[in-house]
Amino acid sequence: MPRIAVIPGDGIGREVITEGLRLLHALNRWHGLDLHFEELDLGADRYLRDGTTMPPGLFDRFRAEFQAIFLGALGDPRVPSNVHAKDILLGSRFELDLYINLRPIQLLDSRYCPLKDTEPSQVDMVVFRENTEGLYTGIGGQFKRGTDDEVALETEMNTRKGVERIIRAAFAYARQSGRKSVCMSDKANAMRHGHDLWQRVFKQVQAEYPEIEAFHLYVDVLAMEMVRKPSRFSVIVTNNLFGDIVTDLGAQIQGGIGLAASGNIHPGRVSLFEPVHGSAPDIAGKGIANPLATFLSAGMMLSHLGHSGLEARLRDAVQFCLNRGYVTPELGGKSRTHEVTDAALTFLENQ
Ligand code: NAD
Ligand code: IPM
Ligand code: MN
């Protein structure tokens, strides 16, 4: 019985997870998937109530008892330190060694693309964001804090093992999915130690995949090129921080942050699936959050559990909502969050 831990989290995270679960429960019933869901009370409310961010032993339970984690978003203006998000989200990425942050950027309906004259076939790429090191480890320190002489250091960690496994994952994915190229992006012209390592490892791994075109762009140029000519890109591999930034850019060219899905994956182990967006305090509680990114993330989770056919059906359902205009206000629609789910369910039921 596949077990899924559910962390709705904060703000619109809770709203979109409610809707994602409606679809997952329906698929579970219709297809006899035998999925078992356990909802966890984690997030800002819990932290403010009893000080708990991540209860002791929970990472061990994730490893021992669960195949997947389905997360909404973490972030609340009442917790300016964001300590709970660091412990729960970044904690899961590090503790569970979820080294692949897989973020597809696919345009499903050209009406929602801000780039002129752009067809869905021109925006279809997958970003492999390194997810366990880079500038995210918290290595660093503050010296003479609060004084005029204060110093703050944030160290970027790049290990050969970490760099190699994400680059290898990108090439392996390109080969297995028949994609034509892998673009590695760094800032080796300015960051001469860590990103030199990326350059050398990229050359080494690309030699093992002669049929796949391998090219390199500095990250500033990558940002420019993703807007100028997104069809250049098929698979992109980059470090943790650059991956964070370019996937928000990518989200916009695929139709908005409400459509961007992600998986935090260690192949063969418990992995975490979540929309790319945050808790959106500006629209939380209004019932207008776009749930489509969560549906696509649920699809990625079903693939991880061995049901890739159902991922395709969920993508078709999202496509249907977009094509028929069952979309939330930020996409110019009139639908409320739960009405988008109603439309997706009707589509799935009648297929
Ligand atoms: P955000 O993604 O929450 O919001 C950015 C903008 O996009 C806002 O205007 C918001 O209304 C809009 N938006 C986002 N998701 C939407 C959706 N599904 N439908 C419609 N509109 C949507 O980013 P932010 O404002 O920088 O962050 C808010 C909080 O969320 C912060 O605490 C941040 O740290 C956190 N955050 C968490 C995650 C996560 O848990 N994975 C990811 C990003 C940000
Ligand atoms: C994301 C988010 C997180 C990140 C934040 C909330 C720490 O922006 O998942 O994209 O930077 O990885
Ligand atoms: Mn982000």
- The DSSP string of 264-291 is EE-TTS-EEEEESS---TTTTTSS----
What is the distance in A from the centroid of ligand 1 to the CA of 73?
8
Please report the pLDDT score of residue 136 as a whole number: 97
Domain's final residue, options 254, 285, 309: 254
Q: Is residue 172 part of a domain?
A: yes
Whether residue 263 sits in one domain with residue 229: no
Q: Is residue 331 part of a domain?
A: yes
- E strand residue ranges, the chain: 3-9, 36-39, 68-73, 100-106, 124-130, 140-143, 151-154, 181-186, 213-218, 235-238, 261-265, 271-275
Distance set, CA 104 to CA 70, 73, 101, 150, 324 (Å): 17, 18, 10, 41, 22
Please report the pLDDT score of residue 309 as a whole number: 97
Quote the percentage of the chain above a pLDDT of 70.
100
Which position has the token pair 């305090």? 281
The end-to-end CA distance of the chain, in Å, is 26
Whether residue 119 sits in one domain with residue 236: yes
- Distance, CA of 104 to CA of 212 (rounded, Å): 19
Q: Is the CB of 260 under 6 A from ligand 1?
A: no
What is the distance in A from the centroid of ligand 1 to the CA of 280?
4
Residue 134 has pLDDT above 90, yes or no: yes
Q: Is the CB of 289 under 6 A from ligand 1?
A: yes
Whether residue 128 sits in one domain with residue 79: no
Q: Is the CB of 277 under 6 A from ligand 1?
A: yes
Domain's final residue, options 208, 239, 254: 254
Q: Which domain holds residue 242?
A: 114-254
Distance of alpha carbon 274 from its chain centroid, rounded? 6
The residue length of the chain stands at: 351
Please give the average per-residue pLDDT across 233-237, as a whole number: 98
Whether residue 69 sits in one domain with residue 130: no
Which position has the token pair 């762009």? 217
Q: Which residue's C-alpha comes closest to atom 41 of ligand 1?
A: 73
DSSP string, 83-135: HHHIIIIIHHHHHTT--EEEEEEE-S-GGG-SSTT--GGG-EEEEEEE-SSBT
Residue 20 has pLDDT above 90, yes or no: yes
Quote the percentage of the chain above a pLDDT of 90.
99
CATH code, domain with 177: 3.40.718.10
Q: Is residue 199 part of a domain?
A: yes
Q: Is the CB of 244 under 6 A from ligand 2?
A: yes
Based on the residue annotation, tell me whether 34 is a catalytic residue of this protein: no
- Distance, CA of 93 to CA of 87 (rounded, Å): 10
Please give the average per-residue pLDDT across 310-318, as a whole number: 98
Specify the ligand 2 atom closest to the Cα of 247.
Answer: 10
Residue 199: which pLDDT band, with cuts at 50, 70 and 90? very high
Instruction: Spot the catalytic one: 10, 136, 186, 326.
Output: 136
Based on the residue annotation, tell me whether 60 is a catalytic residue of this protein: no
Ligand index nearest the alpha carbon of residue 71: 1
Residue 78 has pLDDT above 90, yes or no: yes
Please report the pLDDT score of residue 67 as a whole number: 98
Residue 8 has pLDDT above 90, yes or no: yes
Please give the average per-residue pLDDT across 20-24, as a whole number: 98
Whether residue 250 sits in one domain with residue 119: yes
Q: Which residue's C-alpha comes closest to atom 12 of ligand 2?
A: 244
Tell me phi and psi for residue 43, to 5 degrees: 140, -165
Whether residue 249 sits in one domain with residue 124: yes
| 340-346, long-range: CB < 8 A, 24+ apart | 340/19, 340/290, 340/291, 340/292, 341/19, 341/22, 341/23, 341/291, 344/23, 344/295, 344/314, 344/317, 344/318, 344/320, 345/22, 345/23, 345/26
Whether residue 267 sits in one domain with residue 248: no
Give the chain's mean pLDDT.
98
Distance set, CA 45 to CA 6, 49, 147, 242, 272 (Å): 16, 6, 34, 31, 21
Please report the pLDDT score of residue 163 as a whole number: 98
Please give the average per-residue pLDDT across 53-72, as a whole number: 98
DSSP label of 43:
S
Q: How many helices (H) and strands (E) does the chain have?
A: 12, 12
Residue 319: exposure state from Cβ atoms within 10 A (0-12, 13-18, ≥19): middle
- Distance, CA of 65 to CA of 24 (rounded, Å): 19
Domain's final residue, options 213, 234, 254: 254
Please give the average per-residue pLDDT across 297-321, as a whole number: 98
Residue 1 has pLDDT above 90, yes or no: no
Q: What does the pLDDT look like over 237-278, one tens digit per residue? A: 999 999 999 999 999 999 999 999 999 999 999 999 999 999
Q: Is residue 317 part of a domain?
A: yes
Which position has the token pair 């639908």? 335
Q: Which residue's C-alpha comes closest to atom 32 of ligand 1?
A: 75
Based on the residue annotation, tell me whether 76 is a catalytic residue of this protein: no
Q: Is residue 108 part of a domain?
A: no
Residue 106 has pLDDT above 90, yes or no: yes
Q: Is the CB of 340 under 6 A from ligand 1?
A: no
Q: Is residue 191 part of a domain?
A: yes
Please give the average per-residue pLDDT across 82-92, as a whole number: 98
Whether residue 250 sits in one domain with residue 265: no
Please report the pLDDT score of residue 121 as a whole number: 97
- Residues around ion ligand 3, judged by CB within 5 A, are 244
Which position has the token pair 């698979």? 235
Number of domains in the chain: 2
pTM of the full structure: 0.98
Whether residue 241 sits in one domain with residue 130: yes
Q: Is residue 109 part of a domain?
A: no
Whether residue 250 sits in one domain with residue 118: yes
Whether residue 167 sits in one domain with residue 221: yes
Instruction: Spot the catalytic one: 144, 161, 248, 334.
Output: 248
Q: Is residue 228 part of a domain?
A: yes
Whether residue 265 sits in one domain with residue 246: no
Ligand index nearest the alpha carbon of residue 138: 2
- Distance, CA of 323 to CA of 36 (rounded, Å): 32
- Distance, CA of 111 to CA of 58 (rounded, Å): 43
Q: Is the CB of 329 under 6 A from ligand 1?
A: no
Please report the pLDDT score of residue 351 as a whole number: 82
